[in-house]
A and B are shown apart, each in its own frame.
Chain A
Amino acid sequence: DADVTQTPRNRITKTGKRIMLECSQTKGHDRMYWYRQDPGLGLRLIYYSFDVKDINKGEISDGYSVSRQAQAKFSLSLESAIPNQTALYFCATSEGQGAVNEQFFGPGTRLTVL
């Protein structure tokens, strides 16, 4: 079974709709992250959370919000979706403070905003 799961895997929605993407992990990691991937731009960090009570903005947080419901769950919301939020979204996890702090990625959610 996958350690980091994301739902849904694909979603098509319309401009102005509210959308929630969910991430769950069974790795027992404290830290969780949301990234978006756009062709030719690599991955960019949207939000990150070091524990349930700690949530921080990444480099492109405008238009997004997050909720850390439990250690294992971290959801990303688009309050009012717009077409330029069409992208591939990845959740990732990592352990707490450590020398390497490798990040483990989910399979991604492909979101299309019409």
Chain B
Amino acid sequence: GDSVTQMEGPVTLSEEAFLTINCTYTATGYPSLFWYVQYPGEGLQLLLKATKADDKGSNKGFEATYRKETTSFHLEKGSVQVSDSAVYFCALRGGGSNYKLTFGKGTLLTVNP
């Protein structure tokens, strides 16, 4: 079945540091890939998405590129801010499904001033 593996946290960075959160997946067909963010006390919000190989999703300075050859969708940001502190979830929607999301376990990011 479909699965998502993302790097375990917690991740602690200083403001303006470079961020990478690794995500790899296993899926049949041609999945769509997502990064969701959960700020403290809130629900999940879609951060970015990519629907086919080599697509790059981007939003709020975050980027991730859909790499079919390495089955990866790593999240990056060049300069993190304190306000980026949150839990980040990688997710996929399998190519054979138009509804079911499979989530990774989440990575807690803390950015210190």
Give Cα distance in the complex from A50 to B98, angstroms.
11
Residue of A nearest to B45 (CB): A105
Is B89 close to A, CB under 8 A?
yes
B43 CB contact (under 8 Å) in A41, A101, A106: A106
Q: Does A99 lie at the interface of the complex (its beta carbon under 8 Å from any beta carbon of B)? A: yes
The count of chain A contact residues (Cβ–Cβ below 8 Å) is: 25
Chain A residues contacting B51 (CB-CB under 8 Å) are: 99-100
Query: How many angstroms from the CA of A40 to the CA of B108 in the assembled complex?
Result: 10
Q: Which one of B32, B43, B93, B105 lies within 8 Å of A42 (CB-CB)?
A: B105
Interface residue ranges of A31-49 to B (CB < 8 Å): 31, 40-45, 48
Across the interface, which residues of B come within 8 angstroms of A102, CB to CB? Answer: 34, 46, 49
**Cβ–Cβ contact B43 & A4, under 8 A:** yes
Of A11-19, A65-73, A79-87, A90-98, the stretch lying at the interface with chain B is A90-98
Across the interface, do A105 and B105 meet the contact criterion of CB distance under 8 Å?
Answer: no
Residue pair A103, B98 in contact (C-beta under 8 Å) = no
Report A-chain residues with C-beta under 8 Å of the C-beta of B32. Answer: 100
A43 to B43 alpha-carbon distance, docked (Å)? 11
> Could you tell me the distance between the alpha carbons of A101 and B42 in the complex, rounded to whole angstroms?
21
Q: B: which residues have CB within 8 A of A?
A: 4, 32, 34, 36, 41-46, 49, 51, 89, 93, 98-101, 103-106
Which 6 A-B pairs rank lowest in CB-CB distance, beginning with the nearest?
A105-B43, A42-B103, A105-B44, A42-B105, A43-B103, A107-B43
New A-B contacts (7) at CB < 8 Å, excluding given A42-B103, A42-B104:
A4-B43, A31-B99, A40-B105, A43-B44, A105-B36, A105-B43, A106-B43
